[in-house]
Structure 1
Amino acid sequence: MNIDIESKLLIVDDLPENLLALEALIRAPGRLVYRADSADAALALLLEHEFALAIVDVQMPGMNGFELAELMRGTERTRHIPIIFVSAAGRELNYAFQGYESGAVDFLHKPLDPHAVVSKVNVFVDLYQHRKALRHEMESLAAAHKKQEELVQQLQQTQHELERAVRMRDDFMSMVSHELRTPLNTLYLEAQLRQLHLSKGNLANFTPERLPTMIERDQRQIRNMVRLIDDMLDVTRMRRDALSIKTTPVDLATLAQAVVESLRHQAEAAGSVITLAAPAELRGEWDEFRIEQVLTNLLTNALRYGGGKPVEMVVQQVGNTAQVAVRDQGIGIAPEDQGRIFEQFERTDDSRKHAAGLGLGLYITRKIVTLHGGQIGVESAPGEGSRFVVDLPLQPPAPPADTQKETPL
């Protein structure tokens, strides 16, 4: 990797003329030379800059070069800076040995050989630049490796999501097939049985007294299939954000009474009874069809999982909000499941044991309530039944300025 690396060099000498002469020798493009006329000045520069090399005169007033080197070796920031000592003393003083003991990498004697100085400086500058380039390369590789790990994690997460989506699709198709097969099989068997009676001339089962019951059975199975298909269509609309509401003035108390009455036969079949506590009138602006759907879903779930015990619906006004609470005394819902039951296709293990279903009712219910600017919650514990509470503003929320027109279903 080609990168431009600037090298900083530090020269330390108490004589200005020596500093000027040494700087003239080692100056080159891509290098910055810093001068210090004492060890104290050198320490100040060392705290501010990262140097590729320090050329230090041994004999200086105050702190000498060896003492400066000892301080540099004792500090993490400066311990790795190469030091070349320069001395005018004779070789017999054995300064070189003392310099190497202080951590020097080389030793030069005055008068300096210009060629030797330039060569040595070039070597250490090249080493510094290679070291910096290698560090940069390692950091780049580490960053690339981290990025690769993040991409792998994202791919794994995407794979898990795709696998979950495939499982949900397979489960959904299996549940749909099962749910549709049940009413269809019932209708098919009823039709075969009627055909058998007709072929034998047995018309006793087709008397005016028996026909209403027969028709009611057929209608109930057809309604089950229509409800299932409507749920699937609603989920498709929700995924496209195409599910809309059309608000009109509605008497929620009257609507609740109508829903309870429509489920009377279903409650009797479940061995249960639905009680309703509501005011004489509770008016607001809602989508009547969708709110009826919410009430029906909540009551149907309560009957389905209520264990044949009474189901209670309470409708009341709380401030500027209409509140609907549906209470059953059935299997209940564990705390860890109370959040996910409002997601599509989600059902608890206990609910699967008690009744069939797609796990769409509460998902659709929450979406409808949210579109009305309301909220839904549940209070429950295993074996203690459940209480679902819906709060609906009496007036619909104002739509955003760019979505004033109703989205068609």
Structure 2
Amino acid sequence: EAAAEEFKRTEQFVRIAEDIADLPYAWGRYDLLCLPPSFPYGGMENPCLTFVTPTLLAGDGSLANVVAHEISHSWTGNLVTNETWSHFWLNEGWTMWLMRKIMAGIEESEGRNAAGYHGLDSLGGWKHLSDDVALFPGAASRLVLELDDGDPDDAYSSVPYEKGFNLLHALEQLVGEEAFLKFFRAYLQKFKYGTVTSGGFKTMFLDYFAMPEHREAGAKAEGFDWDAWLHGEGMPPGGAPGFDRSLAEESEVLAASWLEYDEAWGAKAPDADLTSWTTDQKTWFLDVLLSKTEERSRPLSVNTISALKRTYSFHETRNAEVLNRFLLLAIASGDESVLPVATRFVTSQGRMKYVRPLYRALRDSGPEGAKLARETFLSK
């Protein structure tokens, strides 16, 4: 019952995706199966039956974008599939692009800020990509991977998802949203029920925009550096895109206030009311704190973490995205009072997105944290 309520927009996600793709859902029935907490991923896009993690059950539907992501795979991944895993970004980059279009469509249909949502979610993705490129530098940060005998999980990251999305977003910004949407639909028609490589994608893009009716839009992408995007290491060329920040600004302002409080001993803690904030605004607030404390090479003080707990009760939330970020901040600060929360979280679910960063945070927090991480891991 909890899953049915949480994912009640599923049919709406499918309908919006069909409108964007201009292509009906091809797989007949669509079902969701909420798996036990040990399931290591957010979701898995099996045709007809998506698997999802119970960590999405936040109680307010705010994490259902993962379902929109898996539904998007019905077109980008299942209908059109990467030919080999070297081109995995074609599955995941396109799926992030389509998912964000679906969720922006939901926001628009309910009278909210669709552009702001798209920008905020994309900013969060850029932060995730930046973190993973720092963690997996070199060849693992390329879009087109060279497969070898290594363990795929050792290099599993957001690179194919978010670097892939940003390649598509960059092309979309160059040729224009309307022209790119038409290209997307043509791409699906050309490769449906088949496979595609990065070279095949590039060739189709260049051929499509060389047609007389598309040439004017395509001329705007003539300087696109395909080699740097597909084979270059590190973050995407050209730096951070100019995503819409209209929903991000309030989070950034509040984060700046808390950083000032952290620097000024004895000051009054900010007390902005977050009741009306979306999950994305809360996670971006915490992401900004994580980024800024990393930039200054000093975590928040235990006093500041305590004030955040008193003000917002982040350590008690059932929203896994918010809790994960807050625990990363609190562990780095040396707040021992959150360690029971952290160990309970890493042992009550197995989603790699949360478990791995938290174990690393415990390991890096000092000898006692490293000992706790080892003992907790070995006990389970």
TM-score, shorter chain, exceeding 0.5:
no
Rg: which structure is higher?
A: 1
TM tier, smaller = under 0.3
So what's the TM-score if we normalise by structure 2? 0.23
Instruction: Tell me the TM-score normalised to structure 1 length.
Output: 0.22
Larger fraction in helix: 2
